[in-house]
Amino acid sequence: MYSDIFTRIEKGSAGPIGQYFDQAFGYYVYPRLEGELGPHMTFNGIQVLNWSLNDYLGLGNHPEVRKTDAEVAAKYGLAYPMGSRMLSGHTREHERLEKIFADFEKKEDAFLFNFGYQGIVSTVDALTGRHDVIVYDSESHACLLDGIRMHLGEKYKFRHNDMEHFERVIQRAVKKADENGGGVLVITEGVFGMTGAMGKVAEIAAFKEKYPFRLLIDDAHGFGLMGKHGRGTSEEQNCMDGVDVYIAAFAKSMASIGGFVAGPKSIINYLRANLRSQMYAKSLPMVYVQGNIKRMEIIDSPEGDARRKKCKDITDAIQKGFLEAGFDIGEAEACVTPIHIKGGVAQATQIAKDLRENYRIFCSIVVYPVIPQGMIIFRIVSTAAHSMEDVNYTLNAFKEIKAKLEAGKYDDEIAAMTIE
Ligand SMILES: Cc1ncc(COP(=O)(O)O)c(C=O)c1O
């Protein structure tokens, strides 16, 4: 029987988050943060201490960066260049930025993406054929999973950061690839953005001595921040040569839009001619190209070193404080600290409301289905723009919230549903 698509969607289940969407809109989901980008912004008319931006190095509101962005926009507008790189959207400045990334990552070449997400989906798709086997970490980001979903060959998942399981999976994958006449692409992340866990990049790369495979990492959260010079997680873990395909997105430390993939010249040139999300889409506009060149000047300078250190100091202090106060922060190591709290939607909404209205702290809330039912995560993202005062204030607020939670103060289901 024919079933109209719109009718099915309108009458069907809206899903675990969608069922609360109308009440939650503008507050718990799609909140409106206004004012200058940074740790102090306005939410719902009140000034909040903001821990929800991945602007790790604080470049989003950096005066020189803002000046360059404005000057380039005034000169070129938002459109130039028009068309895809392949046909009419290519410039020498795109080439210059690619060279900067290739040199920075110590790879032969690099290719720009106009969006991290699409670029990553397409890279996974373009690199693998039906005879190849993909092996990937179970907590990989949605864009990697979308790329993997498009893969017509075999795909094997290993338990998140579990190297014993990885070895069993890679053995199976290599055997299968051997039977198929294909190869193996291993995919993981540098820093897992939801949990702050570091990917086991060096340990995986070391397995190359035992098994044949190529390693791709999505270092969206590590680029610019991790490693002595900000080259990313592979620099931090001293395994830059072990990563065959290094990918970064600009939405985090670069406080911008776009991304790049870096690797051997032959592979990057192949991607230039085969990456569907770039061949069939408009190229990165000049405002982002020159804006990103400016950001790279700062990232690759003593100021970049100082900003990395500041972000690390803030991260270390807040993680130490949460641990000392008896909070569960999971496997957090890098710049994201998830505060795990037992509870359902009732507790999540009331704690968030208390945090925002009374303590004036804004952080993202993660609930089921992103994480298992019965858990809530309050996600604290440290940046170089935060201060130790912000850290201490937040730790004290969370200690009070913990005491209230334990005293059952957030258990009222009715109050939970009242959202101003
Ligand atoms: C790990 C990871 N990869 C890729 C992306 C997508 O990048 P973009 O926002 O540039 O599309 C994100 C989120 O922004 C991410 O967290």
Give all domains of the chain, ordered by start, each with its CATH number.
12-50+302-406 (3.90.1150.10), 63-299 (3.40.640.10)
Q: What is the pLDDT along the chain (420 residues), one digit of tens a residue?
A: 998 999 888 887 666 666 677 878 899 889 999 999 999 999 999 999 999 999 999 999 999 999 999 999 999 999 999 999 999 999 999 999 999 999 999 999 999 999 999 999 999 999 999 999 999 999 999 999 999 999 999 999 999 999 999 999 999 999 999 999 999 999 999 999 989 999 999 999 999 999 999 999 999 999 999 999 999 999 999 999 999 999 999 999 999 999 999 999 999 999 999 999 999 999 999 999 999 999 999 999 999 999 999 999 999 999 999 999 999 999 999 999 999 988 887 888 899 999 999 999 999 988 877 777 888 899 999 999 999 999 999 999 999 999 998 898 888 755 554 544
Tokens found for residue 230: 């900000």
Say which residue the tokens 């373009």 belong to. Answer: 126
Strands 40-43 and 155-158: unpaired
Atom of ligand 1 nearest to the CA of 252: 14
Of 141, 160, 191, the residue with max ligand 1 atoms within 8 A of its CB, to mutate for a pocket test, comes to 141
The DSSP code for 57 is T
Sheet strand arrangement including 375-381: 336-342, 375-381, 364-366
Inter-residue contact 169 to 185 (CB < 8 Å): no
Ligand 1 close to Cβ of residue 116 (< 6 A): yes
Can you tell me which residue has the tokens 């990456």?
275
Nearest atom in ligand 1 to 249's CA: 10
- Give me the pLDDT at residue 273, please: 97
The predicted structure's pLDDT at residue 12? 75
Q: Is 326 helix (H, G, I), strand (E, B) or coil?
A: coil
Query: Sign (positive/negative) of CA torsion 37, 39, 41, 44?
Result: positive
CA–CA gap between residue 225 and residue 222 (Å, rounded): 5
Ligand 1 and 288: CB distance under 6 A: no
Residue identifier of the C-alpha nearest atom 3 of ligand 1: 220
Q: Is 259 in the pocket of ligand 1 (CB under 6 A)?
A: yes
CB burial of residue 13 (10 Å; 0-12, 13-18, 19+): exposed
For ligand 1, whether the C-beta of 120 sits within 6 Å is yes
Give the residue, by CA position, lying nearest to ligand 1 atom 15. Answer: 220
What distance in Å separates the CA atoms of residue 155 and residue 4, rounded to the nearest whole number?
Answer: 33
Report whether residue 284 contacts ligand 1, using a CB cutoff of 6 Å: no
Closest among 233, 253, 229, 251 to 243, alpha carbons compared: 233
DSSP H helix total and E strand total for the chain = 17, 14
Q: Ligand 1: distance of its center to the CA of 416 in Å?
A: 31
Strand 155-158 and strand 133-137: the pairing is parallel
pLDDT value for 420: 46
- Ligand 1 atom closest to the Cα of residue 118 is 11
For residue 194, report the distance from its CA to the centre of ligand 1, in Å.
11
What is the CA(400)–ligand 1 centre distance, in A?
34
Residue nearest to atom 6 of ligand 1 (CA): 117
- The answer, yes or no, to whether any atom of ligand 1 lies below 6 A from the CB of 141, is yes
Query: 347 phi and psi, to 5 degrees?
Result: -70, -40
What residues contact 320, with CB distance under 8 A and at least 6 apart?
Answer: none
The reported pLDDT for the residue numbered 14 is 65
